[in-house]
Structures are given as structure tokens and as C-alpha cells.
A and B are shown apart, each in its own frame.
Chain A
């Protein structure tokens, strides 16, 4: 089966610019996650969707980050405006339901200069 798809794979922007990431989960997976992984650390959950509803966004910096999952399938994560500390890999994952193992996409490496 096809895995989780993400684009772009790499992005370099200047601080205060905006950026958007796209994720297509595995077909049939109801739960979709966005994680931020800073170099040398484990992934940190930013937001979790169940179908197209938000389950948890407690660690999403809502003054600059936003995410949506239209029609319960694809999702986009946006940062506006970006800060230097947003440099990280942004991982999208999906699972059949919240209790099961998660399948990760290749990630988008964001560099903010």
C-alpha cells in the first residue's frame, strides 16, 4: 500500500515569511498527526485530527501556526510568519485509529534564515 506522502521535502525561507506543508495520509486512516522534530530531539506533537476534526492542538503555537484537514483526507500545515526557531523537520503521520501504531511520511526539512 502507498505510504504517507508529504511535500515539499525541503524548504528554505527567510524569517517573517510564510510556508505551507502538505500531507496525504494512508487511505482509510482516520487519524492524522503533525509533529515537529528539532535536530537531536524526539518528535513533538503539534496537532492531531480525527477525520476532519481537531482532537489535540495543545502544543500548536496558534499565533503563527495553523492546520486544516479538508474532507478528512489531505492536510496542510501553515506557518505565518516564520521564526528562526521554527527550523526543524515537520513530520506527518497517520493511523487507523488513535490507539494503533503510526505511519510516518518522509518529512519536510524547514530552514528559516
Chain B
């Protein structure tokens, strides 16, 4: 079964609006990472949050982590057309010492 599951599977919003994507996972983790993938730039690392951190910011990105609920969210503020992409959460599993990707959220920003 999937370790990380993103919700929603697809999201379409207007440019300038905020986009929120959620990720749930099953087992204990060392860290959780978010990646973006589009046809132009491939798979790119966005942000890493450690298991002892609750919130992290990077530019227009805000990530939260709730280890008690085994969930994370990625917020993109003031969205732009260039944010159109698939977003993946990836969990670094304790013990297994490897990164496991979810199925991704497809985000479309409409002009």
C-alpha cells in the first residue's frame, strides 16, 4: 500500500489564489519532502521538513507537519501560471532509510 497519499489528486485554481495540498502517511518518518514536476524542469526539490519541526517557509511556500496525525500540507500563496505542475510529497521512512513518493497532486493555475 502507498506510504504517502496526496489529496486532492487534481486542483484547478485562478492565478493569484492560494493552493493547498495535503499528504498523509502511515509509518514513522525522519523527514518529509515536497517536490515539483513539470515538463520543462523535471522533478525539483522544494522543501524538506524534519520530524521535529512543525512548520517551514520558503518564499511563497509554507509546509506544515503534524506527526501525531501523520499528515503534512503544502500551501502555495499568490499562485502564478508557472506553478502549474504535479506536486509530490515524499516521506523518508525511519528504519527503511529510504524516500517513498506519493502519487502526486496535479495543480493547474488558470490565467
Query: Would you call B101 and A44 a contact (CB within 8 A)?
Result: yes
Closest to B41 in A: A106
Count residues of A near B (Cβ-Cβ below 8 Å): 23
Contact of B42 among A40, A42, A104 (CB under 8 A): A104
Complex Cα–Cα for A37 and B101 (A)? 10
Query: Would you call A42 and B103 a contact (CB within 8 A)?
Result: yes
Query: Would you call B42 and A105 a contact (CB within 8 A)?
Result: yes
Encoded as 1 (CB less than 8 Å from any A CB) or 0, chain B from 43 to 75 comes to: 111001000000000000000000000000000
Query: Would you call B42 and A101 a contact (CB within 8 A)?
Result: no
Query: Would you call A56 and B104 a contact (CB within 8 A)?
Result: no
Encoded as 1 (CB less than 8 Å from any B CB) or 0, chain A from 79 to 110 comes to: 00000000000010100001111111111000
Query: Which of chain A's residues have a CB closer than 8 A to the CB of B42?
Result: 91, 104-107
Query: Which of chain A's residues have a CB closer than 8 A to the CB of B92?
Result: 99
Query: Would you call B43 and A91 a contact (CB within 8 A)?
Result: yes
Query: Would you call B103 and A98 a contact (CB within 8 A)?
Result: no
Query: Would you call B104 and A99 a contact (CB within 8 A)?
Result: no
Query: Which of chain B's residues have a CB closer than 8 A to the CB of A35?
Result: 101
- Among A41, A48, A105, max chain B CB count under 10 A is at A41
B24 to chain A, nearest CB (A): 14
Contact of B101 among A42, A56, A101, A105 (CB under 8 A): A42
* Chain B residues proximal to chain A, CB less than 8 Å: 4, 30-31, 33, 42-45, 48, 88, 90, 92, 96-104
